[in-house]
Structures are given as structure tokens and as C-alpha cells.
Amino acid sequence: MHSDKIAFEHRRHKLIYNSPYINEVTIFVRQKTMKTVSQKTVARLSLYRRLLNELLAGKVEHVYSHQLAQSAGVTAAQVRRDLMVVGYTGSPSRGYHVGELIKAIRSFLDAPTPQAIALVGVGNLGKAILAYFAGRRPNLAILAAFDSNPDKTNRVIHGCRCYHIKDLADVFARHDIRVAILAVPAQGAQEVADQVIRAGARGLVNFAPVPLRVPPFVYVEDIDITTSLEKVAYFARIAGAAKETSPAAIPDLRA
């Protein structure tokens, strides 16, 4: 029995350590043992930073938690809990210093050096994404775009060099790209996801209306515009019907 257990462990370790994803598997296991921050917390911190940047542009130097909470649509207690994660505390008399809080959130959310991002799919949506992000976030720059259409490759679109999809692995390796945006049709999304993961991507923003099958060490954020629009249209219809029948009975759709 003991020898069988040793043989099983040997086979298991051999399987794991011969995996092409051994480094990522090790990182994933280590991360599971560390204190993690929820996806919702990260999303709120990103929202706070955007709101704080607007305040800074308006020459506002200090902000209280209840003011930031009102703009973000959360409670003041939630704001204070979230900002404890980044290790920044405000003053009871003056609140949070806007500029310093932005720096604290940046230090928590952003990598110490700029992260290169790739976009796959240079159709109408892909071009709109390139136009929107051009020069907007220096630390998160779309460094390369890819498409299978030769009419869209070997050219610069909104300041971004567009390559043929067959060059993806080489470009990813050259620029150490770990994040990819997928703006491709649903039928080709899984194949593209597999390709960028093999090339080194460990985070995907997926605009294709299809769930992706990825390893546990790859984070996927699905952006399904159709689902969002259908949800908004449904609740708008519910609110409209309630207003016509009984205005007092209109539900709180934010709950």
C-alpha cells in the first residue's frame, strides 16, 4: 500500500511539473494562500479613482467619505472599508486629501511599470476601443492590435500598430504582453482565447457574447453589451409600468 501511494505521488508530480503552465499553477496556488481582494472591491477602487480625478481636475483638494460615497452610489462605511485596503486614512476634520488618495489607489491597483495590452479584432468595436484608449491611460496602453484581415494589418490605427494574427506569439513575447482584449465574433472567441493564453496572456477582457473556457490562473472579465441592454430595457419597462399604475409602488431598481 505504501509503495502504491509513493508511485501515485510520483506520477502526480511528474504530470504537474511537466505541464507548460507549471509557473502559473505555482503562482495560482500561492495566491490562494494569500489574502485576496474581491473583484467588487477592485471595481469600486477603480471607480473612486475616476471620481477623484474629476475632483482633482476641478481643483478640489479634500473630500469626505460620504461625499465620495454619494457620487459612487455606495455607503460612506463601504468607502472607508475599501480605502482601508489601500492603507490610506483620512482626517476627521478635513476628510481625504484627493491627490494623496489617488496616489494610494494607483500604488495598489497599478503595476510599478506600464502594462502592455493587446487587442484582437480590429472591426468596428475594436477600432472604437483603440480610439477611446489612445493616450488615455499611460500605464495601460494598447501596444498591439491583431486581425486576420490583411487589409487591416501592417498599418497604424489610432496610434496602434496592427499585426496579422499569425504574428501574435512573437509580438506577445517581444513586448511581454499579459493582458488581451477580445473583440472578435463569438464563433472564433474560444480559439483566439486559447491562442493568446498560449502566448502568455493571463487576463482577458472578453467582448464576445460567449463564455470562455480558460485555466484557473487566467482572469476573464466578460463585457456582454447585448445582455446589459436587455437587462436595462426590462427594468425600464417594469419601472414604466409601475409609474402608470401606482407611482408609490415603483421599486428601487438599484437594489
255 residues of the chain, pLDDT tens digit each: 444 443 433 333 333 333 344 344 433 433 443 457 888 999 999 999 999 999 999 999 999 999 999 999 999 999 999 999 999 888 888 999 999 999 999 999 988 888 999 999 999 999 999 999 887 777 888 999 999 999 999 999 999 999 999 999 999 999 999 999 999 999 999 999 999 999 999 999 999 999 999 999 999 999 988 888 998 998 888 877 766 655 555 556 555
Task: Note whether 116 and 141 are within 8 A (CB).
Answer: yes
CA distance 66 to 227: 32
Q: Are strands 160-164 and 140-147 parallel, antiparallel or unpaired?
A: parallel
Burial bucket for residue 109 (CB in 10 Å: 0-12, 13-18, 19+): middle
* Spatial CB neighbours of 133, under 8 Å, sequence gap ≥ 6: 140, 141, 142
Question: Where does CATH 1.10.10.10 sit in the chain?
Answer: 39-109
Question: Where does CATH 3.40.50.720 sit in the chain?
Answer: 115-223
Residue 48 grid cell: 473612486
User: Residue 162: helix, strand or coil by DSSP?
Assistant: strand
In CATH, the number for domain 115-223 is: 3.40.50.720
Identify the architecture of domain 39-109 in CATH.
Orthogonal Bundle (1.10)
Question: Whole-model pTM?
Answer: 0.71
